[in-house]
Amino acid sequence: MLGTSRKRHAAAAGAVLARMVCPRAAHATRSPAPGDAGRAVSPLQEPVPDARPALPRAMVVLKIAPYLSVEDRSDDDSERPCAIAVVGDDPAAAAMRRHLPKKRIGDRAVEVVAVTPAELVEPGDRPCFDVVYVARSVGDDEVSELIRALRERPATLICERPGFAAAGGGIQLFVRDNAIRFEVNADALKRQGVRASPHLLKLSKRGPRS
C-alpha cells in the first residue's frame, strides 16, 4: 500500500489495471472443440480457474495493491516493501511466489511470503502484510476463519472463490466475458482501516455468489 509513491504511480498504473481487466487481456479464448461446430459457447462455459493462465491473475493482484491505502499509516512508506502473503496453493499462488518478488510498486520492492492459515489466525503477534492472497486449496472453514481473524487488521484479503466478497472478504477475483474482473467489498476494507481508491471502486463489478 502506498503513500507519496502511490500518488506518483497512480496515473500509469491506472491505465495498466484497466487494460488488465478488459476482455481478452487475461487469457486467450479457447479454440472450438470438434463438437462445438454450430454451437455458441456461453460465459458459463469459461474454463475452470485452475485451467486459466496463472500469471495474469497474479499480475492483477500486483496492480490492485497501489490502490489500497491504510488510513492511519504514514503517507511516506516508500522504503517499506509491499508485503504479500500467499495462503495455500494454486497456479496463481505459484505464479505470485515465482514472479512478483522481481517486481516493484512505484519505489517499493515486493515481498511474497508463503504462510499457513494458522499463522494468520492464532492469537499473539501475527505477521503484518499489505495483501493476503487466499488460494483455492484453502478450505471453506479456514477461509471463514481468516475473514474473522483479519476483519480489523489492515491486510486486504483477496480470493478467487464465489461469494468471497459477500462473505466479508476484501476483494473477490473472477472471470466474466473472457476477462479477469474483481469485486471490492468497500465496507469490509473500511472496517479493516483500508481505503480503496475511487478508481479501483469504479472498476469493481459484482462477482458470482455460488
Amino acid at 200: L
Asked whether residue 48 carries a pLDDT value surpassing 60, the answer given is: no
Beta strand pairing status for 108-115 and 156-159? unpaired
32 inside domain: no
What's the pLDDT band for 18 if we cut at 50, 70, 90?
low
208 inside domain: no
CA distance 165 to 173: 9
R_g over Cα of the chain: 17
82 inside domain: yes
Distances (CA, A) of 151 to 62, 139, 182, 190: 21, 18, 19, 10
Which position has the higher pLDDT, 143 or 40? 143
Asked whether residue 112 carries a pLDDT value surpassing 80, the answer given is: yes
Find the mean pLDDT for residues 32-37.
42
Digit-coded pLDDT (tens) for 167-182: 999 999 999 998 999 9
Q: What is the pLDDT of residue 46?
A: 44
DSSP string, 153-193: SS-EEEE-STTTTTTT-SEEEEEETTEEEEEE-HHHHHHTT
Q: What is the pLDDT of residue 193?
A: 94
All 3 cell numbers of residue 77?
512508506
36 inside domain: no
Domain of residue 156, CATH code: 3.40.640
Digit-coded pLDDT (tens) for 183-209: 999 999 999 999 999 999 999 999 999
**Could you tell me the sign of the dihedral formed by the alpha carbons of 143, 202, 68, 188, in that order?**
negative
Q: What is the pLDDT of residue 76?
A: 57
What's the pLDDT band for 133 if we cut at 50, 70, 90?
very high
What's the pLDDT band for 165 if we cut at 50, 70, 90?
very high
pTM: 0.77
Distances (CA, A) of 129 to 9, 42, 81, 103: 20, 38, 10, 17
For residue 129, what are the domain limits?
A: 4-26+53-203
Sheet holding 82-87, edge to edge: 104-105, 108-115, 82-87, 131-134, 156-159, 171-176, 179-184
How many structural domains is the chain composed of? Answer: 1
Report the mean per-residue pLDDT for the chain: 80
Q: What is the pLDDT of residue 210?
A: 85
Which position has the higher pLDDT, 115 or 124? 115
105 - beta bridge partners?
A: 108
46 inside domain: no
117 inside domain: yes
Q: What is the pLDDT of residue 68?
A: 94
